[in-house]
Amino acid sequence: MRNPTVPDFSGSYVRYNTPLAPLVTWGVGGAARMMFVPRTEDELAGAVSWIHSNGEDFFVLGGGSNVLISDAAFEIPVINTVKMSAITVRRSGDTAYMDCLAGTPMKEVLALSLKNGWSGLECAAGIPGTVGGAIAGNAGSKAGSVGASVESVVTLEPDGSRTVWSGSEINWGYRSCSLFEGEKRIAQSVTFRTTSSSKDEAARLAAETMRGRKFQPVSSRTAGCVFKNPPGNSAGKLLDMSGCKGISVGGARVSESHANFIENHCGSARDILSLALLCRKKVLMKFGTHLDFEVKIAGIWEAWPDVGE
């Protein structure tokens, strides 16, 4: 950190030397030297303004279900959104708009829509994490992705100014959202648009999405799919056919039931990254296909583990 000035905030939403491992689903990662845990939009704006005026970079952490954080201490401030959780509903004819703060768990948004028979977000059934993380990675399943149901997003720019984006002006790609590509901004809130359907039909679609997860190892520490599917192919299939299932590095092991999931059994972030790179190399050597990471790799890595790539 270039300027270690202690912020003068009246509320105690700033924490120091906070371990990040308990905040991520893989259960690994060093401590954040400084972490903001805003509860409101104003506290979030306060955190961003302080970071901006101190010339700092920052990292946004939602539910931690799609990140690999290095074992070393996290030097730049972390903004953890999980305490910013609220949903407000507005109706207009058959359409229900759900205004959600960025840290709202996606499962709560889905539960509310299923309870009311509102359709549109069934593709998110079973996806852990927050609303902010879901739109940053355009999370989804075979049934679709959340971006298709986004009416608008409010972001905070690094200088603390707010921007409102219409969902239709955002480029939603496969596990990507143009708002956050190469841009340091934070989703503050998201409005989802859903349509009145029947409760049974919405529940049926969500159950169908859940059935697609039958091979996912849900009782182990994972972060979902490690790699994105290459065009026209399945990363899990390529990893499986390259002999990755069950191989391990330290405490990290490739799931026996889904080759694109790495389970952490008391290993380190370095174990997980080493294993992921080894798997990627196996696929490259067998099929000539390069796999891109779906999980976001964050923190300080002195050097990436050498697997002879």
- Report the residue from 67, 110, 112, 114 that binds ligand FAD according to the rule CB under 6 A: 67
Residue 279 binding ligand FAD, by CB under 6 A: no
Residue 125 corresponds to which tokens in the numbers above? 């059934």
Residue 216 binding ligand FAD, by CB under 6 A: yes
| Beta-carbon contacts of residue 57 (< 8 Å; ≥ 6 apart) | 51, 76, 184
- Report the residue from 27, 30, 132, 267 that binds ligand FAD according to the rule CB under 6 A: 132
Tell me the Ramachandran region of residue 225: left when phi exceeds 0, alpha when psi lies from -120 to 50, beta otherwise. beta
CA distances from 167 to 56, 80, 95, 146 (A): 29, 24, 15, 11
- Sheet with strand 78-80: strands edge to edge: 14-19, 31-36, 78-80, 59-61
Residue 121 binding ligand FAD, by CB under 6 A: no
Kindly determine how many residues on this chain lie close enough to bind ligand FAD according to the rule CB under 6 A.
Answer: 32
- Report the residue from 121, 139, 205, 262 that binds ligand FAD according to the rule CB under 6 A: 139
Task: Return the range that interacts with ligand FAD (CB under 6 A); candidates 4-12, 129-137, 160-168, 193-201.
Answer: 129-137
| Side chain identity, residue 46 | G
CB atoms within 10 A of CB 121: 29
225 among known catalytic residues: yes
Residue 29 binding ligand FAD, by CB under 6 A: no
Residue 60 binding ligand FAD, by CB under 6 A: yes
Distance CA 41, CA 37 (A): 11
- Report the residue from 129, 167, 236, 267 that binds ligand FAD according to the rule CB under 6 A: 129
Residue 134 binding ligand FAD, by CB under 6 A: yes
- Report the residue from 46, 128, 167, 236 that binds ligand FAD according to the rule CB under 6 A: 128
CA angle (255, 258, 260) in 5-degree steps: 85
CB 303, min distance to ligand FAD, A: 22
Rank residues 65 and 274 by Cβ distance to ligand FAD and give the closer one. Answer: 65
Which parts of 171-210 interact with ligand FAD (CB under 6 A)? Answer: 180, 186-187
CB 154, min distance to ligand FAD, A: 10
Distance CA 190, CA 4 (A): 32
Task: Return the range that interacts with ligand FAD (CB under 6 A); candidates 59-67, 86-94, 241-249, 268-276.
Answer: 59-67
Query: E strand or H helix at 192, and its extent?
Result: strand 186-196
175 among known catalytic residues: yes
> b/e string for 161-184 if b means 16 or more Cβ within 10 A?
eeeebebeebebeebbbebbeeee
CB 306, min distance to ligand FAD, A: 25
As annotated, the active-site residues are 175, 225, 294
Residues found near ligand FAD in the complex (CB under 6 A) = 25, 60-67, 81, 102, 127-130, 132-134, 136-137, 139-141, 180, 186-187, 216, 218, 222-224, 296
